[in-house]
Structure 1
């Protein structure tokens, strides 16, 4: 099959144009207006890429000022906008020179080397490669971006472009600069040209798909976080807590698991005396204090109302009681500072434990911890209780 360079260019321009239309339609939808996630900048970047190849296709029919100088500057501008789009998505800023210096250098070199195709492919190619390195760097340096998989399409595209730029520079250095050009009128394309076309089209297509998927992945994570997080205290809600507890019990491998049921003492009196906003602040501060005392794999969640629950893997009953006592003392020892002044409060805790030598269900553990919490409340509050043997001191006997 004979391929015509202009046909390849037309295919590239058509593909990019359809992507631009799709991206602008996506960014202009009602639920995305004003949203800063980089989609708008990415759409403009692909638009500049499309204009670049349109100018290249018209080479020989329009002045070189447009087909060479303007085309190279638009290409550098597209790369700069791709970098800006990714940074906007990541909610980060880069020094402005990383955007504008490549543009200025490209303009300068394109003017100086307008009649030197070998020099353009080498020196301007280095600028494009530097821009792709910046793109790869921001992708690799952001942990949230790498939480999904779509970023790999963008990273792979950046690597592919660098390799193609290296190939074109090598061809230019070897004295066959015409083979590195995107099109040569009246001649069948060389394999170098075909590889370049495929790489450029694949990078634009897969890169755009990858960026859209990156936005979708983060949106999905945010929705999941909202669905599994208590909006007041920012700790896992009851659903997330129970899911974690079930998974912990399923993979405990014979190790004990402790469960602590925690209730804020006399919380209704706090609401009645100081108002619900202060009551909300009390819950937030208590949750924050307890979070600071837990281990990394312990999970604190809001069970409902003023009740919290802690799931502590690899914790026997003695360790669970020590943990519960430390949490009780942490809350009771220091007043909470609110807009209505200092408020002294305390918590009561019921403890249950899943031992390594028995088989129990989560429902049973919850019932036992709830019964122990009731004992702690009935024993005077500000207590830790367990339905088995209890330590002396502040711990209440069942």
Structure 2
């Protein structure tokens, strides 16, 4: 086969060059403050992996023990960092996970001992293959763990790891047919090694760039739909979530629903007396209490300032009135403690019921609820009024 006449050393140096370019490209992403968790581990991992390949091919120029020590140590550590980066991304990393680095160091010590005892290179290569396969399994498992449907980057990462494991297993089998195996000789085993190295550098780097892009897109979607202070939906999120309710093709899902417009009483006085920082904490507490009192299919949003909107599908006006009065009473009876201050808070609520047979929009429903809210405030606050 002509391919067997290719120079393995040249191909390994090509892998080093690819690794340098990829490491530099990923490192450039670190200049952007909007990088996903785990990126620092991944960049370091690619850098150290590249150094591992460099020291592996360098055995042609310096003592074998130097190549074995640094080539394998850096390669193992690079794989460790890729796995740790996935743990960091999934927010599951613990101090104990760094113990895998100790296992890698121990493996290199065993390899040096095998070299000193005169154990053949093929036996050492088998041990290296086993360790890399275990690391590949860890990476693939973490890449697939709790993966959301949109996370195709993690899917690609896991599939790349599986492909590398398959290549490593095939390489392990080829050892049986080459008793005079050597890392720098041209044979099927080393061609599979080059294949695996290229897959790791190209496949995983593309996966990481895709992971970063999808993470940023998800963050932007969250920023667009959620209020940064209270953690509930903002106006944009409210519109997105209520689209089905106001879609003529889908409105048969609910025969009716209610909209509650909620306003914190005398909130301006709270800001004036205690400062906007305390006012923000009051907003967060009220939002949290409202969240505790809604059903899983209800929609809660901050409409602006101290105003909140709750959309309650399939709930009659009487049931909504009972719910709103209970929430008003609960908030009024539970003062909010902020920085040693006890702040009594009350809310006013306006309700509007909408039937599916009517022609309506979200704005129409909110206008009716707002009219009822104005009536509640005019009637003395800390009460609920229904639009009639």
Deviation at 1:194, TM superposition (A): 3.8
Deviation at 1:331, TM superposition (A): 1.1
Match of 1:201 in 2: 198
* CA deviations over 1:85-115 (Å, ceiling 9, x no partner): 3334444224132222122223323441564
* CA deviations over 1:127-168 (Å, ceiling 9, x no partner): 222222222333344567x76221112211222222222222
**Structure 1 residues 21 and 277, CA gap change in structure 2 (3 angstroms):** closer
Match of 2:12 in 1: 9
- 2:2 aligned counterpart, secondary structure: coil
Superposition pairs of residues 1-398 of structure 1, within 5 angstroms = 2-3=2-3, 4-6=6-8, 7-27=10-30, 29=31, 31-32=32-33, 37-91=37-91, 92-95=93-96, 96-113=98-115, 115-141=119-145, 148-172=151-175, 174-177=176-179, 183-185=184-186, 189-190=187-188, 193-250=190-247, 251-255=250-254, 256-339=256-339, 341-388=341-388
Q: Normalising by the residue count of structure 2, what TM-score does the alignment of the two structures yield?
A: 0.86
In the alignment, is the contact (CA less than 8 A) between 2:144 and 2:155 conserved in 1?
A: no
In the alignment, is the contact (CA less than 8 A) between 1:72 and 1:107 conserved in 2?
A: no
Distance 1:67 1:275 in 2: 65
- 1:253 aligned counterpart, secondary structure: helix
Deviation at 1:324, TM superposition (A): 2.0
**Structure 1 residues 102 and 358, CA gap change in structure 2 (3 angstroms):** same
- 1:382 aligned counterpart, secondary structure: coil
Distance 1:152 1:222 in 2: 19
- 2:310 aligned counterpart, secondary structure: strand
**Structure 1 residues 43 and 267, CA gap change in structure 2 (3 angstroms):** closer
Where structure 2 has 5 or more consecutive residues not aligned to the other structure, the ranges are none
Distance 2:74 2:205 in 1: 18
**Structure 1 residues 110 and 162, CA gap change in structure 2 (3 angstroms):** farther
**Structure 1 residues 268 and 73, CA gap change in structure 2 (3 angstroms):** closer
In the alignment, is the contact (CA less than 8 A) between 1:87 and 1:94 conserved in 2?
A: no
Distance 1:21 1:277 in 2: 43
In the alignment, is the contact (CA less than 8 A) between 2:168 and 2:196 conserved in 1?
A: no
Distance 1:324 1:140 in 2: 43
Where structure 1 has 5 or more consecutive residues not aligned to the other structure, the ranges are 389-398
**Structure 1 residues 359 and 157, CA gap change in structure 2 (3 angstroms):** same
**Structure 1 residues 199 and 316, CA gap change in structure 2 (3 angstroms):** farther
**Structure 1 residues 25 and 242, CA gap change in structure 2 (3 angstroms):** closer
In the alignment, is the contact (CA less than 8 A) between 1:171 and 1:177 conserved in 2?
A: no
Aligned residues: 378
Deviation at 1:385, TM superposition (A): 1.8
Distance 1:278 1:346 in 2: 16
**Structure 1 residues 314 and 121, CA gap change in structure 2 (3 angstroms):** farther
Deviation at 1:182, TM superposition (A): 5.4
Distance 1:340 1:41 in 2: 42
In the alignment, is the contact (CA less than 8 A) between 2:168 and 2:192 conserved in 1?
A: no
